Amino acid sequence: MMKRRVYLDTSAYLASLLNESRAGVVRKAVDKAAVFTSVLLVAETKRALVRLSRDGKVSMQSYVTLSRQVDADCATFALAPVSHELCASQVMPTVATPRTLDLIHLRTALWFHEQHLLTAFLSLDAQQNHAAAELGLPVAIAST
């Protein structure tokens, strides 16, 4: 049986990391799968943790623990860099106009998908999932 190949968007990763309401769905989707993502996931996640800490929503101890978990998780992910070629690509969903960082995630997922088909694109963002579906990526989680 082929190992599942899953692209993990930051929204889904943060839900899992922070044990939010959809965490179980995300964890099940990535369990025993090869996980692919962009280095943007690292920057976006670390920024979100700083914001949560500064807003008093996570303690300093939790911030340190969560930051270490990000580092440990990312050591197991296939991380693609943000390259000039990726940014200069003409790939764009037909109808949706994604935000810039979302577009980079989509193009990264497509790059991985072209190398060897992904079995799932995981995002909890409805607009991101719509754009991913337009581009032919296998959207796996119904967003809210």
Per-residue pLDDT, 96: 84
Residue 8, pLDDT > 90, answer: yes
Task: Sketch the domain layout of the chain as residue ranges.
Answer: 5-40+76-134
Q: How much is the average pLDDT of 10-38? A: 95
> What are the pLDDT digits (tens) for 27-59?
999 999 999 999 999 999 999 999 999 999 999
The residue among 47, 52, 132, 35 whose CA lies nearest residue 93 is 132
User: Among 1, 6, 2, which residue's Cα sits nearest to residue 16?
Assistant: 6
Burial class for 30, CB neighbours closer than 10 Å (0-12, 13-18, 19+) = buried
Render pLDDT for 69-81 as a digit per residue (tens, 0 to 9).
999 999 999 999 9
pTM value > 0.85: yes
Bridge partners, residue 36, by sequence = 7, 78
